[in-house]
Amino acid sequence: MAEETKQTPETKPAAKKEKPPAVEDKPFEEFMQQHFLPALQEAIAKEGVKDANISFTKQKYPIIGFESAEECWQVVGSWQNGQRKFNVYFPDADIQGKKGFSCHEGKKPSTLESFLIDERKTTLELLVTRLLYRLNGQKWLGRN
């Protein structure tokens, strides 16, 4: 008599839990309001700036000579009663797109610099740390 072999259904591998989407994959405005601004505010405070005012707005470039340019999304920061100001520009409304930076003490800025142009993927941490690095280059943070 031949033995009957029972075929058992193959066991399915345990279902992988789906990772929640990265915060950087959220819609641009949501990412900026809910993640970037609070993280930046906290990081600047840790550097010793207690009176920083940081906002996210869509407005024209405040740079001399750019008056006729279209509005774009900007992170605008200031402290020392508005004497120190910086802007981070997002003309494409996308953290992975083009970005610019300007800063000034007192008067309107006259220079628009590129910001994070060599990075393949922009993350929340990268945006915060590189902005702090740039502000520190002005000797605006900490004990500079």
Q: Is 5 among the domain residues?
A: no
Structure-block tokens of residue 15:
């279902």
Rounded to two decimals, what is the model's pTM?
0.79
Q: Is 82 among the domain residues?
A: yes
Q: Is 95 among the domain residues?
A: yes
**Number of domains forming the structure of the chain:** 1
Angle subtended at Cα 74 by Cα 73 and Cα 78, rounded to the nearest 5 degrees: 160
Q: Is 20 among the domain residues?
A: no
Q: Is 14 among the domain residues?
A: no
Q: Is 39 among the domain residues?
A: yes
Domain around 58: 25-137
Q: Is 63 among the domain residues?
A: yes
Q: Is 113 among the domain residues?
A: yes
Q: How far, in Å, are 3, 42, 79, 102 from residue 48 at the CA level? A: 80, 10, 11, 21
Please name the amino acid found at residue 46.
K
Whole-number Å distance between alpha carbons of 53 and 61: 18
pLDDT truncated to tens, each residue of the chain (144 aa)? Answer: 555 555 555 555 566 777 777 777 788 999 999 999 999 999 998 988 888 899 999 999 888 777 777 899 999 999 888 888 999 999 999 999 999 999 888 777 778 888 888 878 888 999 999 999 999 888 877 655
